[in-house]
Amino acid sequence: ASSHLIAEYESQSNCFDQSGNISKGREIYYYIKGNYFLKSGNLDSSEFYLRKALPYSKSNSSRGLLSIYQAKGNCDSVSKYARLYEEALDTLHNNMRTDVLHQTLALYDYHRFQKESEQKAREAFQTRLLYGGLAILLLLCLLCLLYRYRRLHEKHEAEQMKHEKNLLAQLA
pLDDT tens digits for 83-142?
A: 888 998 898 899 999 999 999 999 888 998 999 999 999 999 999 999 999 999 999 999
pLDDT score of 3: 86
Nearest to 20 by CA among 51, 44, 42, 52: 52
Instruction: Indicate the pTM of the whole model.
Output: 0.54
pLDDT tens digits for 63-90?
A: 899 999 999 998 898 999 898 889 988 9
3-state secondary structure of 122: helix
* Mean pLDDT, rounded, of the chain: 91
pLDDT score of 21: 87
pLDDT score of 20: 83
Any bridge partners for residue 22, and if so which? 16
